[in-house]
Amino acid sequence: MNPFKKNVVKSFRAAKQDITRLQQEIVRISTENKELKNAIASIQKEVFALSTQKQPVPPVAPSDPHFVASNTGEKFHQSNCPFASNIKKGNRTYFPNAKAARDAGYKACNCVN
């Protein structure tokens, strides 16, 4: 075989090796990509679950509560609201202001201005 043909064959073999390595790298990156997408989806689910949970609020002294909500309910009330008086004492959560109640995930009752 003449030197030109030898160089052509050598070049094609090198190109074939490069293509094989690139294909392997594509498979590896593709697998990593799938794993990362799964991890991101899992984290997004966890963040969503955490963001929809009611956040605990430090209790306000019951002698000066402005707003009250039930631990099992969805709305908060002014302390003098008739619905607030229906909340069992053991289920009450007190808030110093409406913003704190909203931040904890509660919706305002119609009694809240």
Q: Are 47 and 15 found together in one domain?
A: yes
| Domain count within the chain | 2
- Is position 59 within any domain? no
Confidence at residue 62, expressed as pLDDT on a 0 to 100 scale: 54
Which residues of the chain fall below pLDDT 70?
Answer: 55-65
Question: Domain range spanning residue 78?
Answer: 67-108
* CB burial of residue 96 (10 Å; 0-12, 13-18, 19+): middle
- Separation in Å, CA 106 to CA 56, 98, 109: 11, 9, 9
Confidence at residue 65, expressed as pLDDT on a 0 to 100 scale: 62
Q: Are 1 and 47 found together in one domain?
A: yes
Residue 56 has φ and ψ, to the nearest 5°, of -65, 140
Q: Are 35 and 77 found together in one domain?
A: no
- Is position 96 within any domain? yes
Q: What is the pTM of this model?
A: 0.45
Confidence at residue 52, expressed as pLDDT on a 0 to 100 scale: 77
- Is position 32 within any domain? yes
Strand order in the sheet with 107-108: 92-95, 67-70, 75-78, 107-108
- Is position 58 within any domain? no
